[in-house]
Structure 1
Amino acid sequence: MDRNRVEGAAKQFKGSVKEAIGRLTGNRTTQVKGAAEKLAGKVQSKVGEAADAVRNRVRR
């Protein structure tokens, strides 16, 4: 498993928490920052998945 997948999942979780806190408190800035962090985590996870796929293809 690629390091990017793990870090991406952590970012997604952290972003989801920030986004929820922003919603609960009515703080749009925190909510938007959380959504952006969640999206960055998704992208990073996808990069990790692609790296894993390439690595698996090369090993065959």
Structure 2
Amino acid sequence: MNKDQVKGTAEKLKGKVNEAIGRATDDTKQEVKGDIQQAAGQARKNLGDAKETVKKS
């Protein structure tokens, strides 16, 4: 695992937490923030996955 994979996974987790808190408190703004964080985390993880694939080739 490289740093992009780790940071991407961490960002996704933070996003899930923010989304859950937003739902629980009926705070749409926080829920959307969580969705955006999850998308950004997934993008970073995908970048890390691609780097690992290139590195193994």
Counterpart of 2:35, as a letter, is: A
5+ residue gaps in structure 1?
none
- Per the alignment, residue 50 of structure 1 pairs with 50
Give matches, 1:16-55, under 5 Å: 16-55=16-55
The structure with more radius of gyration: 1
Normalised to the residue count of structure 2, the TM-score between the two structures is 0.97
Moved over 2 A (4+): none
Partner SS for 1:26: coil
5+ residue gaps in structure 2?
none
Say how many residue pairs are matched: 57
Normalised to the residue count of structure 1, the TM-score between the two structures is 0.93
CA RMSD of aligned residues (A): 0.4
